[in-house]
A and B are shown apart, each in its own frame.
Chain A
Amino acid sequence: MFRIQSSLRAMGPTLLGSARPSVVGCNNANVKATANLVLSRGKRTKARALAPGAQRIINMLSVFSAHKKQPRRIKLAMEDLIRHNVVQKAWSIFMRDKKLIRTERLKSQYKKIEEAAEELKSLNGYLHFEATKRELGKRFSPEMRIPTETPPNEIWHEDWKVTDIYAKKR
């Protein structure tokens, strides 16, 4: 930002406001009388303010710059940083174990389904064929919903009907 300002200042007085001494506490009509007498370090003065055109350019450039795009670094003492990292790591271990348990459960469920299908096949081929047959156009019905934390705006399709698109084929 400073570099942009200084380069703009080099362009001449047209972009910038007129050069005024930047002494805080000078009797300026634009500065409030109460703040006038307080000498505070780093306080912006009217004298350094830019012309509106230049300010606009700076605003645009700072929008493009990567400077403010990343979140501010959390200032932690070393002890707390280590403790924070431990919590992060523990959380990832916890989630990993949770996922592991879930995948194991799903795997065993799938294995059981397969075993049942195999048994059915050995008992009755027709029943197995009927049970595992893939039917064209037959999918999960819209009534079968997975519970979600973010439900849609339209909760239920009240006027939904089965469209018999395969009627002609039959």
Chain B
Amino acid sequence: MSIRRAFSKSIRAYSTEAATAGSTSTSSSAASTSTEAVSSLKIRNPRMRRAVLQGDWIDGPPSLRTKHARLAYNSPIGLKEVFPLAYDIILKEKARHYAKAEEIKQELESSDASKIDAETRASLVAKYNKHLVRAELNDPEVQYNYRIKQLDLTQPVYRHLAERDWKSYDMLITLQRLEQLHVIPDTLPTIDPRADVKLQFPTVINKWVTPGEVLRNAVCTRTPIVKIQEFQQIPDNSLYTVLIVDPDTPDIANDGYTTTLHWAVTNIPLSNTSPVVDLAKSDELIPFLPPHPDKNGPTHRYCLWAFRQADPSTSVNATSTPLGSPTVATRRIEIAANDVSLARENFGIRAFVSAHNLDPVGAHVWRCTYDQSTESVREKFGLGPGIVFDKVRR
């Protein structure tokens, strides 16, 4: 209790001191003007907004569902008194970060900005983005929107939070599975993951496939729904390519395995806010071939690779792009569906990637083996009877 009292006292002293000193009290109106236009940084529900910012509610916190729970709830003692003081400090800190960002912006847009070399510029841009994130990160309204997963990914702070979440779990799982199942280096040498790639088969169970999962053949007959979420700011309608390959196709003649191309889509327009692959707007070069492993054969890996169609010509002069705009540029690639490099059998993914200068940003993998549904899948899609392997080669 005494600690709390001391805290509120010292904070009160601090805020008055800061207000009189004037050094730390940069105009908080500047912060409010810069965020006022962005409604996604505010809590939409007015009742909730009042609850979070004022701790003001009728019978209890609105996040509690039942009336019984609301009535039984007691807020911690003193929180209501301390919060306005703490919020003041947060707002001042926010204003400070926005002021710093503004300083950097002016430095980069001033007349002698041309003298700044690319490296310094890059570090300044990184600093600028960091200040934009830090300014909003501790805001209670942003924290609330993050908790209810209302993330407007056009905002740097929400992109930062989404990326943090992804890097803490999903990215690690994906990388582990890619390494453990030797997708790296069996398909491509390595990966620098920058996008969250998710995969779903539209069936009865509509859920995102965990990387490395073994799926039933009947589940993956239809064209998958693919989501490629970039956390870096990308321009609207940036172009992407998706390939699905199976590096475990038996090659009996050479006593080994070959890679089969199962799906190839190019020129997929994506943005930060619309990450789902839309086939109507993109070029489907090779339609989706459902997995159909041979009987007694090995479990096949179906590796999905997502590529940014990076534009080397524009990414070089990205140093001159204005602040706050994306530095990533993509270009359209034209491949004829009957291109020799696009043959389903003996597909050379490395050659394809280097030929079209694709930048792998994310990957996914699932597995299939011969099961009860394989024969029906083969029959449905006219894929032939398939090989039956035996212990002894005949």
Contact = CB atoms under 8 A, between A and B. Distances in A.
Interface of A: 74, 76-80, 82-87, 89-91, 93-94, 97-98
A77 B90 contact: no
B144 A82 contact: yes
Given A83-B52, A83-B55, A77 B85 contact: no
B140 A83 contact: yes
Contact of A77 (B11, B61, B87): B61
Contacts of B82: 87
A118 B87 CA distance: 47
Q: Main SS of the interface on chain A?
A: helix
Given A76-B76, A78-B61, A78-B63, A83 B90 contact: no
Given A86-B86, A87-B82, A90-B89, A80 B75 contact: yes
A90 B89 CA distance: 6
25 contacts: A76-B76, A77-B60, A77-B63, A77-B64, A79-B51, A79-B57, A79-B144, A80-B61, A80-B79, A82-B52, A82-B143, A82-B144, A83-B55, A83-B140, A86-B83, A86-B86, A86-B87, A86-B90, A86-B143, A87-B83, A89-B138, A91-B7, A93-B89, A94-B10, A97-B14
B79 A87 contact: yes
Contacts of A78: 61, 63, 144, 147
Contacts of A93: 89-90, 93
Nearest to B53: A83
Contacts of A97: 14, 24
B121 to A, nearest CB: 28
Contacts of A83: 52, 55, 79, 83, 140
Nearest to B55: A83
Q: How big is the B interface, by class?
A: 20 to 34
Nearest to B61: A77
B89 A79 contact: no
B93 A79 contact: no
Interface in B42-95: 48, 51-52, 55, 57, 60-64, 73, 75-76, 79, 82-83, 85-90, 93
B140 A82 contact: yes
B55 A94 contact: no
A118 to B, nearest CB: 29
CB-CB nearest 4 A-B residue pairs: A90-B86, A77-B61, A90-B89, A78-B63
Interface in B1-30: 7, 10-11, 14, 24
Nearest to B24: A97
Nearest to B52: A79
Contacts of A90: 11, 85-90
A69 to B, nearest CB: 23
Nearest to B73: A77
Interface of B: 7, 10-11, 14, 24, 48, 51-52, 55, 57, 60-64, 73, 75-76, 79, 82-83, 85-90, 93, 138, 140, 143-144, 147
Nearest to B51: A79
B76 A84 contact: yes
Contacts of B138: 86, 89
B140 A94 contact: no
B291 to A, nearest CB: 43
A94 B89 contact: yes
Contacts of B60: 77
Given A86-B87, A87-B82, 9 more contacts: A79-B48, A79-B55, A83-B140, A84-B79, A87-B86, A89-B138, A90-B87, A97-B14, A97-B24
A82 B147 CA distance: 9
A8 to B, nearest CB: 37
A64 to B, nearest CB: 31
A80 B55 contact: yes
Nearest to A88: B86
A123 to B, nearest CB: 36
A85 B89 contact: no
Nearest to B56: A79
Nearest to B15: A94
